Chain A
Amino acid sequence: MATIELPLETFRDPAGSLRIEGERVLRRVRPEQASAALEFLQSDLAAQWVESGRLIGTEFLPGSDGSLTLEHPLVFFPTYPWEWTASAWLDAARLTLDLCEALLPQGLILKDATPLNVLFQGTRAVFVDVLSIDKRDPHSPIWLAYGQFVRTFLLPLLAWKYLGWPLAASMQKRDGYEPADLAPYLSRWQRWREPFRSLVTMPLLLEKNGGAAAQKTAKVRQEPAVALATLQRNLAGLRRQLDRLEPNRRATRWSGYTETADHYANEDQQRKQRFVREALTTAQPGQVLDLGANTGVFSRIAAQCGANVVAWDTDTGATEENWREAQRLKVPVLPLLANPARPTPAAGWRNRESLALLDRARGRFDSVMMLGLIHHLLLSEQIPLAEIAGLVAELTLRWAIVEWVPATDPRFVDLMRGREALYGHLDEAAFAGAMGVYFTVVKREALPNGRVLFLLQAR
């Protein structure tokens, strides 16, 4: 029988490595290579950052043999940049620059700058890779992680905003894009306009002509006050570039769905919201997974009922909208670009550096919500009912709030596209039969438009 491989202990940073043991997050440290970070973690500035929730908390666990382990609180749902909205990317980038800026006057700096150093609690970015903090040479005006910041934050955002390259492609690009990756896709006019000039064209020209010279001049030395001012100016420059990459609001297929859902009369919509609210009140789930969350109307209802919500959807515009609303209303919702029918696979070295989506979700949620999604899974993704029921059972510890969409529903008919012989026979009884293997019905309500809402409890 095949066994699920656990993620590897992190290994890229020689200063230490991180492993997860059950609910515990433990970081083995080599103190001689992490002295600056360890000193910082005990400072007042670090305490302020932890207090504001922008830096992960750290507890020191010295071993009897002189070794040192750090323990961090578990971030409820770890995510990867390839599942983030553009706004999440911007927040992670701003957090990285903020922290680096705060470190400079302390004689410290970030030795690397990648989105993988950041996780999210709801929509709040938290810097987690504490060993990225290092001592800086007071005479050097060079931020060695500048290139990595451009490659892993700015160029993917640039490619997304202007070329439409999905941010999800970052799964294939651990170290981001090179300027040479983007250059062939820019028009002559674009190449000399900002932000392309500073991020693509000039670095590319210098790469061809002055790269070797730069390696030597990287040892450039300045008076400490001048070096500090220069570093601050460089960070301010990166921040300006970042501001330029704020994504435009693009209308996508689903972003205006809530306003244009003509198959849902106002009364149906109100009854649906009331049912979901009542179901949540009955179930009292602490953690909710909202599948097919769209712009997050029901995710926010769950959050208002006291749950910590993770919301998956495949549409960038709708998920972006969900992100902005959650942030504006300060509700504990984490909207992610994720597809239950094609979940993010495990990735990285030996396929064990980053976890697959379902491995992270299993055993974490008291309730799964699947509203207005089942017909997409059945007809577009061609997943059989029994499989859908199996997935819901796998993802929830106890409850499921599910909407059944009958074969007569106009949206079901649209998606059937003439395949009535294959799918037209599916009815509520078939749905109840498939779900009945794993769940009992606690509550059922049929809406006037023919859709049926269920609160299910695991057997």
Chain B
Amino acid sequence: MLTVRRTVLAALASIELLVLLAAFTKPAYGYVDPGSGLLAFQVGGSMLAGGLFILRSKIRKLFRMSPPQQQEETSAEKSSETTE
């Protein structure tokens, strides 16, 4: 009984060791282009910022129904109508 338990424990320990070794294996980073991380960070940030910019202008459009320029024009037209 004791030897079976020992064998199971040893097997489990070696599996754990293998899993750990696999988890900590690192590829050869020496050949990664060192500038690529900063570029990737900028690309991610830029796509996010671009998305937010579009989303914001869409929300603006939705609430005002028209871009600010057209609003000014319509209010200017209205005021000219009243002075007439």
Stretch from A210-218, A273-281, A348-356, A378-386 at the B interface: A210-218
User: Which of the 9-residue segments A42-50, A228-236, A364-372, A441-449 touches chain B?
Assistant: A228-236
- Given A147-B35, A226-B53, A234:B46 Cβ within 8 A: yes
Whether A207 lies near B50 (C-beta < 8 A) is: no
Find B32's partner among A150, A208, A220 (CB 8 Å cutoff). Answer: A208
A-B contact pairs, 25 of them (CB 8 A): A142-B46, A146-B39, A147-B38, A151-B38, A179-B38, A198-B41, A202-B41, A203-B37, A203-B40, A203-B41, A204-B37, A205-B37, A206-B36, A206-B40, A206-B44, A207-B34, A207-B37, A207-B38, A211-B36, A211-B37, A211-B40, A214-B37, A220-B46, A220-B47, A234-B45
B45's partner among A178, A212, A237 (CB-CB below 8 A) is A237
Q: How far is the CA of A210 from the CA of B39 in the complex (A)?
A: 10
- Which of A203, A222, A226, A229 is B38 in contact with, Cβ under 8 Å? A203
Using Cβ atoms and an 8 Å threshold, which residues of chain B touch A217? 40, 43, 47
Cβ-defined contact, B42 with A211, below 8 A = no
Among residues of B, the one whose C-beta sits closest to the C-beta of A210 is: B40
Write the B16-42 contact mask toward A (1 if CB under 8 angstroms, else 0). 000000000001010011111111111
| CA gap between A222 and B52 in the complex, in Å | 12
B contact residues, total (Cβ < 8 Å)? 22
Q: By the criterion CB–CB under 8 Å, are A147 and B49 in contact?
A: no
Which B-chain residue is minimally distant from A204 (CB atoms)? B37
3 cross-chain pairs, A with B, having the tightest CB-CB distances, nearest first: A207-B37, A214-B40, A211-B36
List residues of chain A with CB within 8 A of the CB of B50: 141, 220, 222, 226-227, 229-230
Given A226-B53, A229-B53, A233-B49, A215 and B42 contact (CB-CB distance below 8 Å): no
- On chain A, the residues within 8 Å of B37 by CB distance are 179, 202-208, 211, 214
* Known contacts A220-B47, A226-B54, A234 near B42 by CB under 8 Å: yes
Of A141, A178, A206, A220, which one neighbours B41 at CB under 8 angstroms?
A206
Known: A141-B46, A203-B41, A230-B50. 8 other contacts (CB 8 A): A142-B43, A206-B36, A206-B44, A208-B32, A214-B43, A217-B40, A222-B46, A227-B50
Q: Determine whether the beta carbon of A220 is less than 8 Å from that of B43.
A: yes
Residues of chain B touching chain A, judged by Cβ–Cβ distance below 8 Å, are 27, 29, 32-47, 49-50, 53-54
A180 proximal to B (CB < 8 A): yes
A137-157 vs B, Cβ < 8 Å mask (1 yes, 0 no): 000011100110011000000
Encode A267-301 as 1/0 by CB contact (under 8 A) with B: 00000000000000000000000000000000000
Complex Cα spacing A376 to B37, Å: 47
Knowing A151-B38, A207-B36, A211-B32 are in contact, say whether A229-B43 is a contact too (CB < 8 A): no
Given A179-B37, A214-B40, A215-B39, are A208 and B46 also a contact pair (CB < 8 Å)? no
Residues of B within 8 A of A178 (CB): 34
- By a CB distance below 8 angstroms, the chain B residues around A227 are 50
Distance of A96 Cα from B11 Cα, bound (Å):
61
A351 and B21 CA atoms in complex are apart in Å by: 46
Task: List A contacts of B27 (CB < 8 A).
Answer: 208
Tell me, in angstroms, the Cα distance from A237 to B33 when the chains sit together. Answer: 24
Q: Which of B29, B42, B44 has the most A CB atoms < 10 Å from its CB?
A: B42
The residue in B33, B37, B45, B49 that gathers the most chain A C-beta atoms within 10 A of its C-beta is B37
Is B34 in contact with A180, judged by CB distance below 8 angstroms? yes
Residue of B nearest to A198 (CB): B41
A218 to B45, CA, bound (A): 12
Contact at A229–B49, with CB atoms within 8 Å?
Answer: yes
